[in-house]
Amino acid sequence: MRVMSLSTPGPVASKPLRPCDRPQPEPGPGEVLVRVEACGVCRTDLHVVEGDLAPRREVLVPGHEVVGRVVASGRGARRFANGARAGVAWLHRACGRCRFCARGAENLCLAPRFTGWDVDGGYAEYVVAPEDFVHPLPDGPRARDLAPLLCAGIIGHRAFVRSNAQPGARLGLYGFGGSAHLVIQIARHRGCQVYVFSRETGHRDLARSLGAAWVGGSFDAPPHPLDAAILFAPAGELVPVALAALDRGATLAIAGIHLSDVPSLDYQRHLFQEKTLQSVTSNTRSDAAMLLRLGAEIPLETRTTAYALEDANEALLDLAEDRVCGAAVLEIWDGSAGSGG
């Protein structure tokens, strides 16, 4: 099978991913083999490829927004029929035994494994995953339109919940990429006014087209205090900016897995009056199920730019340089052609 593999992390401009052929993997007990139709290109992939997240394998296939078809099942795996459409997301497996898993917080598991970081992911023609952590997906939508839901959508919705934005709230979104362009739709569906902060003209234009109440630059002050905010950009220097824009009792949720250093905070200006700074860590399977239901209900519209598998370096570079409006997606296999292996 064709894959794009990473041996040595480095700047995406140096094209650290290399195309190669590998044997098709076999599903083990409780696992399924998924033939990949499309895989979203997430900013977390960028952090993995460039080494912001420390490598966990000598050679790795990135990618964790996987849409495909189940083509084989390992011993004891009965949840998916062959040909069923399925999604593989960031959380590859949780231990199910630690104190966090026991209370339903598997996103805080003490021994988790992550797709495209601990195990090979979806920048490939096939991927293997535990069936209990694979998500049923509808047949109708294009694979490239579903792929961003599997991380950008899931983590964006979790960040929206953690921000405690209520109907009618003024919600600020700092950074407007793959996740934020979905969250604005969720927020407006819930009756929020959305204020978007972005340095890129194309992203600001997309925000306006999706119904933003106000759009400005990353460091601009909003016309009104914000009742809640989410930071999507991996830029620690925006934390005090966003906190200063909050009203009393409001929350800033940080949605990324990686953030550059946060400058010193002034207690009176940034945190007093019961402002809350809230991180967001991974997701649970129930988060995924909730987002997928909500995505069908609204319905969520994904804006995507498609790339071939062999162009994964170019997709990551475009993402790093803010040239992608919405989400980048690798199109790998046409699922409409059939479900055979």
Mean pLDDT for the stretch of residues 106-123: 98
Domain that holds residue 250: 153-279
Model confidence, pTM: 0.95
Tell me phi and psi for residue 330, to 5 degrees. Answer: -85, 125
Q: Where are the alpha helices (DSSP H) in the chain?
A: 43-50, 99-102, 143-146, 152-162, 180-189, 201-209, 238-245, 285-297, 312-320
Residues 233 and 331 in one domain: no
Looking at residue 136, what is its pLDDT? 98
Tokens 């980048």, residue located: 328
Residues 123 and 209 in one domain: no
Residues 24 and 143 in one domain: yes
Looking at residue 334, what is its pLDDT? 81
DSSP letters of 249-266? EEEEEE--S--PPPPPPP
pLDDT digits (tens, 9 = 90+) for 304-325: 999 999 999 999 999 999 999 9
Mean pLDDT for the stretch of residues 311-340: 86
pLDDT above 50 for 340: no
Looking at residue 154, what is its pLDDT? 98
Tell me, yes or no, whether 128 lies in a domain. yes
pLDDT above 60 for 339: no
Tell me, yes or no, whether 312 lies in a domain. yes
Give the residue among 173, 163, 152, 175 at the shortest CA–CA distance from 295. 152
Residues 10 and 76 in one domain: yes
Tell me, yes or no, whether 284 lies in a domain. no
pLDDT digits (tens, 9 = 90+) for 185-199: 999 999 999 999 999
Q: Are 125 and 2 in contact (CB under 8 A)?
A: yes
pLDDT above 70 for 62: yes
Q: Are 66 and 115 in contact (CB under 8 A)?
A: yes
